[in-house]
Structure formats: C-alpha cells, structure tokens
Amino acid sequence: MPRRLSAALAAATAAATFAAVPAQAATPLDYVALGDSYSAASGVLPPDPTAPPLCLRSSLNYPHDIAKATGAHLTDVTCGAAETRHFTTSQYPGVPPQVDALSADTDVTTMTIGGNDSGVFISAILACGVAGIASLGQGSPCHDLYGSSFEDTIRTKTYPSLVSALQAVRAKAPHAEVGILGYPWILPATGGCFDKMPVATGDVPYLRGIQATLNDAIRRAAAATGVTYVDFSSASNGHDACQAAGVRWIEPVLQGTNPVVVHPNALGEAQMAARTIAVLGLG
C-alpha cells in the first residue's frame, strides 16, 4: 500500500475512533446558597418541600434559578429571618449554622444577609409605616422621630457583623467564589405610593437612604474580605414596590401578590439570579 494512502487511512481511523468516544461532561459546580428571606424568596409559591417549615423557602428563589441555568449542584440552606449570627449559630432547633453547609469543595456560594441584624431594616419599615399612617402620608414623621439612629446602628453594628460573617464563609470555603448580593430597591427615590406603601412622602427618601446605607455596608464588608459584591442599585431602579405588577421586583404592603410583604416576587428573584450569574461569570 502506498505510504500516503496508509497514512491517510491511519488518520481517518484515529479521527473515527476519537469521534466515537463520548465527550466527558463538565463536573457540575458545587453551589451552596446561604442567606435570609430575600435569598429564600419567602412568600413566593411553591414552597421548597425540602426546607424546614420556619425558613419559608421557595422553590423559585434565585439560588434555584441559578442552579437551573448553570446546571450546578445546589445545596440551599437559605432561611427567612436569618441574621449574620446564624451563619455560625443555629437559627431554629434542628437548623444547623448555615456555614456548616460549606466545605473546601464548595465552588460557589451566594447570599443576602444583614437586613435583619439588630432589627434595623424591618424596624425602620414598620416604624415609618406607622408614622406614615398617623400623618396620613404627609411630611416626614419618621425622619423627624428617628433621625440617624437606624443608619448609626448599621454602621456601628451591622457592618462589623457582616465582616465576621463573610470571614466565617471564607474560612469554611477557602476555594469558593463568594458573592453577596445587595438588596434591590424597595422604594423609589422620591414620591412613593401611599396607597400601596404606607410611608409619608417626606420619608420615602429617608427610607431609601437607610437602604443605601445598608447596601454600602454590605459592599464595604465584601471589599474587606475579598468577596464579590453584586450591586442592584442601578439594575433595580424602576422595579420597586410602587410599580405595577409585572414590573416590580418587590411586593408592596397593600395590593400585592405575596403573603410576605416587602419581599421579592418571582420576577425579582429571577432578575437577582440573572445579574448574579453575570457578575460571578457563571454562564
């Protein structure tokens, strides 16, 4: 057989053999989701049947959306009402500290956390709601009553707690890509919607400022610990609780669709997932 023909047949045989060997599938990412009710999607149906009942976790939370989009293997320990301390201590009987789900093999972990610490965020919303109703939506009664107290607590207590929590995550998952999400806007910059959110007009920028201070504390804690901050300050503009259904990411106190008010709906969770995938490069 001529040498060229022999070489050609050998090459063809090798190519055919290579083509017959199935490509090895990439190993799925080991993805662990931590966090509070914004990560658990508390109030969004259907509930996650594997979750502890008190955690109010949804099967449509952004971690499930990320896992579905990326093919990652998801371990979801998100739990409504979680504080930073619940990363290292049990939140409820039978619910382990959240960082116990992490290991040296964890590839990716995400979270929202900090909003429940010291009761600041929920206390501010409730206090401003009560004050807004009492003033029939006029003036800035909440700001007049509480001043900088909420923001002072975030800076002096929540921020160091965030740093400690992220350090605990880093210690348990030293090789993981760690992402911490900011909280999407609850209210517009000005104006508000007293029919849906019982906040006085003058307190709308006040509450928005408190949320901005919380998100800035999260951003700074991420920078201090080498964690990626997923910023929603621009992406969630125009998707606050005052917007129409199908546009808003956050459900209002009144005229909403979720039983857990002032929390993301399924659209909000999907958008949180999409931005997190883009920022962390999980496509």
CA angle, residues 175, 176, 178, in degrees to nearest 5: 140
Distances (CA, A) of 156 to 83, 148, 194, 221, 265: 16, 12, 31, 12, 31
CA angle, residues 83, 125, 115, in degrees to nearest 5: 20
Residue among 6, 37, 135, 143 flagged as catalytic: 37
Q: Which residues 6+ apart lie within 8 Å of 257 measured at CB?
A: 245, 251, 265
DSSP character at residue 207: H
Active site residue 161: no
Q: Are strands 73-76 and 108-111 parallel, antiparallel or unpaired?
A: unpaired
What span, in angstroms and rounded, lies between the C-alpha atoms of 35 and 79?
A: 6
Q: Rounded to 10 degrees, what is the CA torsion of 240, 241, 245, 251?
A: 120
Longest dimension (CA), the chain: 99
Active site residue 236: no
- φ, ψ for residue 249 (rounded to 5)? -100, -20
Please, are residues 283 and 268 in contact by the beta-carbon 8 Å criterion? no
Residue among 64, 86, 143, 263 flagged as catalytic: 263
What span, in angstroms and rounded, lies between the C-alpha atoms of 229 and 218?
A: 8
Nearest to 232 by CA among 185, 190, 171: 185
Structure tokens at 147: 């001043």
Catalytic residues: 37, 263
